[in-house]
Amino acid sequence: MSDFVARATRRRSIEANLFPYAHAAVEPWEGYRWHSAAGEVCDAFKEKSSQALSIDVFGTLKLHPSRDRVLGALAAQLGLPSAGPWDVALEWHDPDNLLDEKTPTFVDALARSAEALMLFECKFTESDGGGCGQTLPIARGKHKGLKQCNGHYRIQTNPANQRTAYCALSEKGFRYWDYAPEVFGLRADLEHSPCPFAGPWNQWMRNLTTAAAVGRQAGLRAAFVVVYAEEPRLPMATRVRQPEWQRLAACVKPQAVVFRSMAYQSLLALARAADPADGVWPELDAWVKRKIAGVCGMVALEEP
């Protein structure tokens, strides 16, 4: 099979897994930031793809004429200014790189108005956020096997570069801990053992500090929303009800950034209420619910 035919075949399989109204949201196709999986260039053709599900919903929002009404209603629910117009971007990262990251933190979607900013990270079958890579052994090169951080926020020397700091990323120039006091109320000049951001909180910290930094720079009220599929067999639906998640939510300072978790089903119910006459929203609602039900059937089959 030629490379052209293989790409065309893969595109058709991905399109079949995307809500039809949202197809134009990922154009130009070849330049879109498709997520990859082990051994695959893109896995958005899979029913369980979190990227595909996020495109279904936020791609539709991006293109739909009632975007301002729906996002205005969501902003009001979050306590943000609701007035539009609202712009939506998929696979967004801060172009100004206010956190001085070497590899930018992406979110699945962004919605922005003249007064407010909402970032969205979407989960489907995932169980939580990703941890900090500095606590993992270096995979290759002359420092292979070394861990650059011991998992505690305290003065330590990175064995790979012999630099000393509270945080291995801070000594490399990353500015997460410039914003941690504002967002989490954590002092950067005191030890925290273990580091609160060594594990799954790391991804949420990066998202939240990005929202706070961009909001502050642009003079916008900022929010970060984790969107998940509400279904008891899916781990994220369980995660957002656990004490550890509630502790994370309680740590975030709303004056810096509003933090919420929200089910896809609730977001679509809001869209249907904001625009009850348009048939796209009930169609999308049914599409999402079918996809969740299909994936949960797969989950049930995989259980021992």
Tens digit of pLDDT for each residue in 45-63? 999 999 999 999 999 999 9
Query: Among residues of the chain, what percentage have pLDDT more than 90?
Result: 90
Q: Judge whether 38 lies within some domain.
A: yes
Domain total for the chain? 2
CA neighbor of 118 nearest in space, from 172, 166, 81: 81
Residue 14 neighbours by CB distance under 10 Å: 23
Residues 168, 276, single domain; the answer is no
What confidence tens digit (pLDDT) does each residue in 80-126 have?
999 989 999 999 999 999 999 999 999 999 999 999 999 999 999 99
Q: What pLDDT score was predicted for residue 115?
A: 98
Residues 144, 87, single domain; the answer is no
- Please state the rounded mean pLDDT for residues 196-200: 94
* pTM for this model (two decimals): 0.93
Residue 299 neighbours by CB distance under 10 Å: 15
Q: Judge whether 191 lies within some domain.
A: no
- Residue 64 sits in which domain range? 16-129+201-302
* pLDDT score of 304 more than 50: no
Per 3-state DSSP, the chain is made up of helix, strand and coil in percentages (nearest 5) of: 45, 15, 40
CA neighbor of 106 nearest in space, from 134, 86, 139, 130: 130
Q: Judge whether 171 lies within some domain.
A: yes
